[in-house]
């Protein structure tokens, strides 16, 4: 197993979905998955705002990443392709300082 491979990670998430039969038990329902992602964002926020360890933050970010990959499985789209298509778009964007912090966006004046 190549642990640096996106395809290996995706296969591991698929195996997790299969093990718990997410497809047939509501685990792949998209509004449910959004709720789970919001919960994970809250846990990530708590790690940052409450000064938790880097290891705790890494675990919560990994949870979110697994949920994102699982959402691609549930919604039947290729996250790898979507990632590279989006990177191509955002690399063309300009940046601005907004309230003292850098923002990269499709600014509409």
- Residue 37: exposed, middle, or buried by beta-carbon count in 10 A (0-12, 13-18, 19+)? middle
pLDDT digits (tens, 9 = 90+) for 14-28: 999 999 999 999 999
pLDDT digits (tens, 9 = 90+) for 34-51: 999 999 999 999 999 999
Assigned CATH topology for domain 6-78: Helix Hairpins (1.10.287)
Domain boundaries along the sequence of the chain: 6-78
* 94 neighbors 107 (Cβ within 8 angstroms): yes
| Predicted TM-score of the model (pTM) | 0.88
Residue 3 has pLDDT above 80, yes or no: no
* 75 neighbors 30 (Cβ within 8 angstroms): yes
């Amino acid at each position: 197993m190549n642990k640096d491979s996106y395809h290996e990670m995706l296969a591991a998430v698929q195996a997790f979905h299969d093990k718990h039969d997410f497809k047939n038990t509501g685990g792949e329902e998209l509004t449910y998955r959004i709720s789970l992602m919001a919960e994970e964002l809250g846990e990530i926020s708590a790690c940052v705002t409450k000064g938790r360890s880097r290891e705790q933050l890494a675990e919560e970010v990994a949870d979110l990443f697994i949920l994102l990959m699982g959402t691609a499985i549930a919604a039947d789209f290729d996250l790898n392709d979507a990632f590279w298509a989006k990177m191509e778009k955002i690399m063309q964007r300009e940046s601005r300082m907004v309230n003292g912090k850098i923002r990269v966006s499709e600014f509409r004046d």
